[in-house]
Amino acid sequence: MSSDIISENNKTNGSTREFRESIARTLDETRDNIRKSIDESRKNIPDYAHTVNEFQEESLDTAKEIAENYLESQKEILNLLETTWTPFSPKNIAESYVSVVSNFADNIISSTKSANNALIANMDLYKSLFHQLKENSKETSRAGINSAKIFQQTYKKYYG
């Protein structure tokens, strides 16, 4: 009878060892897959940076074109209305009008700069968020390990 128990214990120990090895292998494969995925993502960073740079340059070019188009249209309007303004001190009216137009163009450029700054700020926010997620994941992992230790201690106390 004792040889049956020994045989059964050897089978159980073998099954337990196989189970642990299988789990360890699976976790190692998962870790390797994560590393490969991260490495692939790293290869795309220059593309992402290029895309952000292109966006910023395109938004600045667009703002420049909007401002230039606006200024050109204002020149045409000013030329068309010049004959109407002649009796009303055209120099003062023209200077006031040019001031308004210039202010509008400056506001377009300023708004574009603000949008780009907001983009950069959001990128910094995500950087901070990822750092916080990393720290929180460490705490969550520690809590899981502590729970497993408590489970193991409780099991040994009552069954082992």
State the pLDDT confidence band at 6, using cuts at 50, 70 and 90: low
Nearest Cα neighbor of 83 from 71, 94, 98 is: 94
- DSSP summary character for residue 44: T
Question: Which tokens hold the place of 3?
Answer: 């040889």
- What's the mean per-residue pLDDT of the chain? 82
What's the mean pLDDT in 73-95? Answer: 73
CA distances from 65 to 21, 69, 111, 128, 146 (A): 65, 6, 14, 35, 61
Candidate ranges 58-67, 95-104, 114-123, 138-147; pick with highest mean pLDDT: 138-147
Higher-confidence residue: 62 or 12? 62
Q: Is the pLDDT of residue 1 over 60?
A: no
The C-alpha atoms of residue 152 and residue 160 are separated, in whole angstroms, by 10
The C-alpha atoms of residue 66 and residue 62 are separated, in whole angstroms, by 6
The C-alpha atoms of residue 155 and residue 36 are separated, in whole angstroms, by 38
